[in-house]
Amino acid sequence: MAAGMLAMMTALHGDTDAALALLDTMEAAAGDDPYVITVWATYSARVAALIGAPVRARRGAERGIAADPAFSFGLLGDYLRLVRCWARAVTGGDPVGVAVEAHDLIVASLSEPPRSGLATWYGLLGEMWPAAGKLDEADAALGRADSAIDTYGQRYAESLLLLLRTRVLRARGEPVAPLRAVAERAHALSVERDAHLVARRAEELMAEHWAATIRNAAIASSHLVGVTAGQLTVPDRGPARRSSSAPSR
């Protein structure tokens, strides 16, 4: 457990290479012990979800679930299934079905009593819904995540939630200014709390959005130039004909 927690804190601090190396060491040491494999898989999958690496997250989740098909290790099994839902949703695998499955798991297993990472799991659910085009449901999930932070004080997820909210705003086609304001707030809060992983993801999101804005503006501009040029073009009427009223010789 301690090595997995260290890997997660290392990842949040921004040193993802070191975090993944720790997790690789854990996996190599797990051998065939189902419990040790499940512990490794839980942290590996959670770190991958925080990084935004669905392929790695799904690999870890599925290995952990295979090691404990009978759900013997309770909460760890819930976490693994939640990460598998997230990975499937964001890669296009039945996003509605897996988002519903994740919601039901959170309500049934993590809410009463509140478990570690409740706000983060609601946040990841808020990232699943847009893949299905369900933006109202995404807002509701992020609202529950905010409530969990306010109620239980798990504030390490706060900057991540702001980042995920930025993605929902972008999916809604919100103007650049409010979207950028939320992304910058996520970045500032991440830096303040040494959550450099989220800060970097916020920077990448802002750069991606800025590039898309420039690209769309260029497309719109070229379209406008084409239309204007078309309006100014004098149609070709063919060769001029001699006037029938020209005087004869």
pLDDT per residue over 6-65, tens digit each?
Answer: 999 999 999 999 999 999 999 999 999 999 999 999 999 999 999 999 999 999 999 999
Q: Angle at Cα 151 formed by Cα 145 and Cα 153, nearest 5°?
A: 85
In angstroms, rounded to a whole number, what is the distance separating the alpha carbons of residues 53 and 67?
Answer: 22
Q: Mean pLDDT throughout 84-97?
A: 92
Q: Is the pLDDT of residue 236 over 60?
A: no
The pLDDT of residue 138 is 96
Q: Is the pLDDT of residue 190 over 70?
A: yes
Question: In which band, very low, low, confident or very high, does the pLDDT at 1 lie, cut at 50, 70 and 90?
Answer: confident
The pLDDT of residue 157 is 86
Q: Mean pLDDT throughout 155-170?
A: 89
Cis amide linkage into residue 69, ω under 30° from 0: no
The pLDDT of residue 98 is 95
The more confidently predicted of residues 153 and 38 is 38
Pick from 174, 163, 88: nearest CA to 132:
88
Looking at residue 8, its amino acid is M
The pLDDT of residue 22 is 96
Question: In which band, very low, low, confident or very high, does the pLDDT at 156 lie, cut at 50, 70 and 90?
Answer: confident
Q: Annotate the chain with three-state secondary structure.
A: CHHHHHHHHHHHCCCHHHHHHHHHHHHHHHCCCHHHHHHHHHHHHHHHHHHCCHHHHHHHHHHHHHHCCCCCCCHHHHHHHHHHHHHHHHCCCCHHHHHHHHHHHHHHHHCCCCCCCHHHHHHHHHHHHHHHCCHHHHHHHHHHHHHHHHHHCCHHHHHHHHHHHHHHHHHCCCCHHHHHHHHHHHHHHHHHCCCHHHHHHHHHHHHHHHHHHHHHHHHHHHHHHHHHHHHHCCCCCCCCCCCCCCCCC
The pLDDT of residue 248 is 43
Q: Is the pLDDT of residue 168 over 50?
A: yes
Q: Is the pLDDT of residue 246 over 80?
A: no
Question: In which band, very low, low, confident or very high, does the pLDDT at 179 lie, cut at 50, 70 and 90?
Answer: confident
Q: Is the pLDDT of residue 242 over 80?
A: no
Token pair recorded at residue 23? 């997790």
pLDDT per position as a tens digit, 107-139: 999 988 888 889 999 999 999 999 989 999 999
Q: The whole model's pTM is what?
A: 0.81
Measured torsion, CA atoms of residues 113, 54, 140, 94, in degrees rounded to the nearest 10: -110
Q: In the chain, what are the domain boundaries?
A: 2-161
Could you tell me which CATH number the domain at 2-161 has? Answer: 1.25.40
Q: What is the mean pLDDT of the chain?
A: 86
